Amino acid sequence: MVHSESHVRAERDAVAAWVGARAAVGYLLPDTGAPTAPGGTLAELTDRCLPALLDHRPADGYRLAGFGHGAVVALELARSLRERGHPVALLALIAPPAGRTAKEPAATLDDLLARRLAALAGRFALTGAESLEDIHLRLREAGWYEHVARPQDLPRLQLAWARTALAVQEYDYPAYAGRAVLVADTCSAHPAERAWDDNAERLTVHRLDLGLDCSLPVIGDRQVADLMRKALDT
């Protein structure tokens, strides 16, 4: 599983409930242990995970899941594995980004960082007077950044989020022929569905239409859990 940036513990708990006695391996995106804010191109983000996957070759094929931005990386990992001749039994995209529409101008790194900070300020009623410790506590109490122990890491992680968003904003979900599950918080078609235009029977789409900026309700949804258990057992 390729984690999102913000809800690692909730994602880990959800996957543990999906897989039962199976083993699961998680990849952090971004790497919170890096001395500088990570980021880069989508290819660089994918290459960060690929060597470890190639060291572990399940006999019955890879089962990959990605959350948020990590869903885009998971799709690219699946494509890379298949190009190398390795079977991918299942790909699960959980709340992947929709990307920008053709009418929207491309955002700069500064644009994305400003939007991220504004969204967090609005969600957590931040005024700018809070200390990093106060913000850290408020976020963790709401289920965000529970895997981040040091408050001083939060500013760097917002820059990392913006760099990752910059890397995936132009992603157009290229063709993929493998079996997949897409969980999207929308009542209309998600851009990810275009990857299966020629193989629609290989894609199972589950729409929640919660209309929330936070993916926590999607991650912990009971119907999503039932769907994933069934997909993993098939």
The radius of gyration of the chain's CA atoms, rounded to the nearest angstrom, is 17
Given a contact cutoff of 8 angstroms between Cβ atoms, the answer to whether 48 and 39 are in contact is no
Place of tokens 């990392």: 160
66 — phi, psi (to 5°)?
Answer: -135, 145
Mean pLDDT for the stretch of residues 126-144: 95
Picking from 205, 165, 167, 162, the residue whose alpha carbon sits closest to that of residue 185 is: 205
Distance CA 144, CA 26 (A): 17
Mean pLDDT for the stretch of residues 167-181: 92
Confidence of residue 186 (pLDDT cuts 50, 70, 90): confident
- 148-167: per-residue pLDDT in tens? 999 999 999 998 889 888 88
Mean pLDDT for the stretch of residues 197-201: 94
Q: How many alpha carbons fall within 13 Å on the CB side of residue 131?
A: 5
Is the bond into 217 cis (omega within 30 degrees of 0)?
no
pLDDT at 79 over 50: yes
Distance CA 26, CA 19 (A): 13
SS3 label, residue 159: helix
Given a contact cutoff of 8 angstroms between Cβ atoms, the answer to whether 65 and 59 are in contact is no
Picking from 40, 68, 69, 32, the residue whose alpha carbon sits closest to that of residue 145 is: 32
Give the number of residues written for the chain. Answer: 234
Query: How would DSSP label each residue in 83-112?
Result: HTT--EEEEEEES------TTSPPPPHHHH
Distance CA 179, CA 213 (A): 28
Average pLDDT, the chain: 89
Q: What is the pLDDT of residue 212?
A: 66
Considering the entire predicted model, what is its pTM?
Answer: 0.91
